[in-house]
Structure 1
Amino acid sequence: EQKVTGWDDPRMPTISGLRRRGYTPASIRDFCQRIGVTRKDNIVEMGVLENCIREDLAAAPRVLGVIDPLKVLITNYPEGETEQLTAQNHPQIPELGSRDLPFSREIYVERDDFMEEPPKKFFRLSPGREVRLRYAYFITCNEVIKNADGEVVELRCTYDPATRGGNAPDGRKVKGTIHWVSAAHAVDAEVRLYDRLFMDPNPAAADDFIAVLNPDSLAIKTNAKLEPSLAHAKASQQVQFERLGYFCQDSRDSTPQALVFNRTVSLRDSWAKAAK
């Protein structure tokens, strides 16, 4: 019924599926060690396997990627100018070094990092609010541009040039830090957000296992914008998109001309939180 694309579909609990999704041999061996061997059939939570890969990828390099982009124009930044900012490859592992990130007048941020009428505990971008751009500057949202349908298509912001690197000389604090990419230097990519194939932890016990398939097991983002370093990333390299999860290039569909990244696993177990 074409519910999946084959035995190597990244949602499938097969070796080929796990490999394509980005699961490492070490994480699978760790999983096997944790569950052990028993004489009886046993059900093991998917969360155990997911925790194994999270722990194995904890040392993966960090990069910036925006999977649902919203354009931001920094109105007081010089037109036509680009500067290179320094970004750590891993905040806890200085041995991994750093890289340059281009910054310019037009950037992309995540669409869900902006709310026009935010609730009380929303600390990201909204009209009149100041936030920190990761590795860059403080910016303040001043104007919201919408299309004829009322959809937000652009934000007009100003930046504080004294806050380069993310800290204010006057000591003022901001509660929100968001990621971004420079519009002029962004690499286009398709990003596939994989989740668990079944909603039931034991689909074999269901009367019809098709009925417990997770309708949200795959979301495809065709307009993702990634930092330029990923244009030259090795096909086998696994990275963390900061604030989003761990990702790898799709071994079957990704090409240098049309990058495709698969989400291996999210940063946190959202299923465990939902179960509570």
Structure 2
Amino acid sequence: MKKKYIYKKNFIFNIIKKDLICKKYKTITTRFPPEPNGFLHIGHAKSIFLNLNIAKKYNGKCNLRFDDTNPNSENLKYIKFIIKDIKWLGFKIINNIYYTSDYFNIIYKYAKELIKKNLAYVDELSKNKIHKYRGTLTKPGKISPFRNRSIKENLYMFKKMKYGYFPEGAACLRAKINMSSFNIVMRDPILYRIKYIKHFKTNKTWCIYPTYDFSHCISDSLEKITHSLCTLEFLDNRILYNWILDNITKKFNPCQYEFSRLNLTYYILSKRKLKFLVKNKFVNNWDDPRMPTLSGLKCKGYSSNSIYNFCKNIGITNQESLINIETLEHYVRNDLNKKSLHYMGVIDPLIIIIKNMGKHIEMILMLKNPKNIKEGYRIVPFSKKIYIDKSDYKEKFDKNYKRLILGRKIRLRNSYVIKAKKIIKNICGNIKKIYCIYYYNTLNKKIKINNKSINVIHWVSKKHSIPVTINLYNHLFKVPNPGKYKNIISIINPNSLIIKNSYVEPNLYYLKNYNSFQLERIGYFCLVKTKYKNNLIFNRIIKLKKY
């Protein structure tokens, strides 16, 4: 899908504009650097939108660079899904795909350069001791007993690390900066660590791998990234980003800028917590429609266009905020409303028998989309026995209830006016069926009672309806800001998925050309499975706003 570029002015565009006016750069190059250890989520979509569209606006380039520096958690399957998701969003990245592992030889040489400048050393402290020695925000760090090794010894020890003479975790390479720095990131950060595991791209060529902080700025420099854009949690890391670049021999100097990450109500966008949900079977997989992953949203029925428009309009700032999920849902509904055909379906069926109607079948003409007459009409059968939703009938009189009540007239959607006359219950006291009468002269006629229009409910013919399975998806979490909770198990919504055996009008059997449709008065849905005639499955994409 070709996207027309429209943007809202923000501080990043102001920076770029100034850099171009001052001729700091001839061309603009950005990058999107995901770690291939999970699926992309909607927070990544914001970053993709920003980086690729900056390149598009300024006739520059945007690189997709996989940060494959941790073989413990990375997998080729995630590479494929990430590329697939980016293409689904409508962006072309085929010729600009890079891997940090492409630069392992160069990054290794830069590590040796820092050692030769006495700015890096091999440390044999354990992982726990390194963490303990770092200190706190109020307490300075403690110098490692291995910090004052000679340059020659450090080069020798680093070479031993490379060739596998140390067990995993027994040694690492650290930058020699300042253990008393106010910024904990600068307290001799780790640059290289040992990992004896096969890398999906470099196989077993390496047993030492650079950290993100060390490799990222070097990769940016090698790819001549002009504006390295990241989220605010990397603000404290910028000083390390610049320190590394200032102390190596490089040809190009990129600059890092931070913007606020996307935070949405009722969603968790922490990859670690999303992994927890998948691993512990709280969701079916990464592409579960309750997940905020792009694959999950796609399975739920969200279009790439709605996500694109959402990212386009939320803006870019350097202040953290929590965006209401209704903002995203607005763009989803707006997109679906334009293209979705209308049908009728009943989630919780209740039988209505029309006493004064014969056994004949009527065919009623209805618009496929009331807001787009060009879509044409569909024919819906109407018969003596129909289904309505249980929620559309109330036994006790309630003046504020606007649907079917014993003795009250109500209109069936695009059809006749009916009145409930008699209720039949089963031995448990539950309503089994309702006998009604219909007014045969009310089809396509405006009827008012006390100068007020009659309220409308939807229906399907019992004889002609198709049995379907409907997945009703709700928020996975019960609270608006689940990210604040350490124990996310306690806030998981037990009703995040409700499966219903329902009935829909027969026209949905022929659904082929449209991925999404509206069940009138219920919501928007998409077709999931059509393998067997009597096994149609629909996912609810989103509720209608007024219901």
Q: TM-score of the superposition, structure 1-length normalised?
A: 0.90
Could you say which residue in structure 2 is the equivalent of 1:260?
A: 537
Within 5 Å, which residues of 2 pair with 1:134-145?
134-145=413-424
1:49 to 328, 340, 356: 328
2:531 maps to a residue whose letter is: T
CA pair 171-85 structure 1, distance change in 2 beyond 3 A: farther
Cα distance change, pair 169–67 in 1 and its aligned pair in 2 (3 A): closer
Distance in 2 (CA, whole Å) between partners of 1:174 and 1:217 is 36
Deviation for aligned residue 1:153: 0.9
**Counterpart of 1:231?**
509
Deviation at 1:170, TM superposition (A): 11
For the structure 1 residues 91 and 155, does the alpha-carbon distance in structure 2 shift closer, same or farther, using more than 3 Å as the test? same
User: Please, which of 115, 121, 126 is the counterpart of residue 400 of structure 2?
Assistant: 121
* Letter in structure 2 aligned against 1:74: I
Total equivalences in the alignment: 266
- In structure 1, what is the equivalent of residue 184 of structure 2? none
Are 1:254 and 1:261, in contact at CA under 8 Å, matched by a contact in 2? no
Structure with greater helix percent: 2
Shift in alpha-carbon separation, 1:3–1:82, aligned structure 2, 3 A? same
CA contact (8 A) 2:447 2:453 kept: no
- Relative to structure 1, the CA distance from residue 237 to residue 166 in structure 2 (aligned partners, 3 Å threshold; closer, same or farther) is farther
Counterparts of 1:51 and 1:180 in 2: how far apart (Å)? 27
Aligned AA for 2:537? Answer: V
1:204 Cα deviation from its structure 2 partner: 2.1
Query: Structure 1 pair 157/135, CA: closer, same or farther in 2 (3 Å)?
Result: same
Partner amino acid, structure 1, of 2:395: E
Shift of residue 166, structure 1, vs aligned partner? 4.8
Q: Deviations over 1:98-147 (max 9, x none)?
A: 11110111000011100111311112111111110111111111110100
How do residues 166-205 of structure 1 correspond to structure 2 at under 5 angstroms?
166-168=445-447, 174-205=453-484
Paired residue type of 1:242:
E
1:213 offset after TM fit, Å?
A: 1.4
Distance in 1 between the 2:397 and 2:472 partners? 26
Q: Please tell me the residue identity of whatever aligns with 2:423.
A: V
Report the aligned-residue RMSD.
2.1
Residue pair 1:195, 1:218 contacting (<8 A) in 2 also: yes
The answer (yes or no) to whether the contact 1:108–1:181 under 8 Å persists in 2 is yes
Q: Which has the higher contact order (CA 8 A, sep 6+)?
A: 1
1:178 CA drift (Å)? 0.6
Amino acid at match of 1:216: N
Aligned twin of 1:249: 527
Counterpart in the other structure of 1:274: none
One-letter amino acid of the counterpart of residue 519, structure 2: F
**For residues 223-269 of structure 1, what are the alpha-carbon distances to aligned partners after superposition, in whole Å with 9 as ceiling and x for unaligned?**
x110000011027521111111111112xx45342011111011117
Bigger strand fraction: 1
Q: Which AA in structure 2 matches 1:68?
A: D
CA shift in 2, pair 1:49/1:242, >3 Å: same
Deviations 1:41-99 (A, max 9, x none): 543222221111011111211110111110011011012x1010011112221111111
Distance in 2 between the 1:260 and 1:32 partners? 30
Contact in 2 for aligned 1:47/1:269 (Cα 8 Å) = no
Moved more, 256-265 or 34-43: 34-43
Q: Which amino acid aligns with 1:176?
A: N
Runs of 5+ in structure 2 lacking a partner? 1-279
The residue aligned with 1:112 is 391
Q: Which amino acid aligns with 1:163?
A: T
- Distance, in Å, in 2 between the alignment partners of 1:169 and 1:32 is 45
Q: How far does residue 7 in structure 1 lie from its aligned partner after superposition?
A: 0.7
CA contact (8 A) 1:135 1:166 kept: no
Query: Secondary structure, in 3 states, of the residue corresponding to 1:215?
Result: coil
Q: Give the alignment's TM-score, normalised by structure 2.
A: 0.46
1:69 matched residue in structure 2: 349
**Are the counterparts in 1 of residues 448 and 454 from structure 2 also a CA contact under 8 Å?**
no
In structure 1, runs of 5+ residues without a counterpart are: 271-276
* C-alpha distance in structure 2 between counterparts of 1:18 and 1:61, whole Å: 20
* DSSP 3-state at the match of 2:414: coil
**Worse-superposed segment, 201-210 or 167-176:** 167-176
CA distance in 2, matches of 1:269, 1:131: 19
Q: Secondary structure at the match of 1:58?
A: helix
Higher Cα Rg, which structure:
2
Structure 1 residue matching 2:357: 3-state secondary structure: coil
